Copies of this chain bind each other. A is one copy, B any other.
Amino acid sequence: MTRTSLARYPCPLARAADLVGDKWALLILRDALAGVRRFSDFKTRLGASTNILTERLNHLVEAGILHRKPVRPGVQRVEYHLSEKGMSLVHALLALWQWGERWTFEEGKSPVTVQARDTGEKLGPLQLQTVSGRPLSITDIEMVPTEAAPAITHQSYAALKAQKA
């Protein structure tokens, strides 16, 4: 069998994972959010070889997360800009970042590099809330495979495929 693609899974997380659920994509997005635009800058910062970087950038462009823009009109040099879709990954990256700070370093040993643009104040943890704005703690929520959305598993996906075949 070939490696399974999650792109057409009925689960939002699976689909997201299919697009950005790998190490290089996450690091590229980290740098893109930090303002990196150019191929060579990504290359030196990431230390990936050219072909890898090319491939990963193209994936992200195909996914509509990055856009290629000529540096100036009529020039073949391009820059990679985050689309709105790409920008809105900031919550996910930030959550991972904060988790990494908390759990993969000794206390206080982690670099601090995400801050408010105006005052430079450090970011606090992401806050959960309901659609109506009521704040929630972690223990207040649950992930429910509902009747309306049973299709979050491979199991149900397999059933779907079988139907069509």
A: residues with CB less than 8 A from B are 4, 6, 10-23, 26-27, 30-31, 33-35, 44-48, 85, 87-105, 110-119, 121-134, 136, 138-146, 148-149, 151-155, 157-158
Copies per complex?
2
25 pairs, CB–CB < 8 Å, chain A vs chain B: A11-B100, A15-B105, A16-B100, A16-B103, A16-B104, A17-B27, A30-B152, A44-B153, A47-B154, A89-B99, A91-B95, A91-B126, A91-B128, A94-B95, A112-B149, A114-B142, A114-B143, A115-B141, A115-B142, A116-B130, A117-B141, A121-B134, A123-B131, A124-B129, A127-B129
Neighbouring B residues of A101 by C-beta, 8 Å: 12
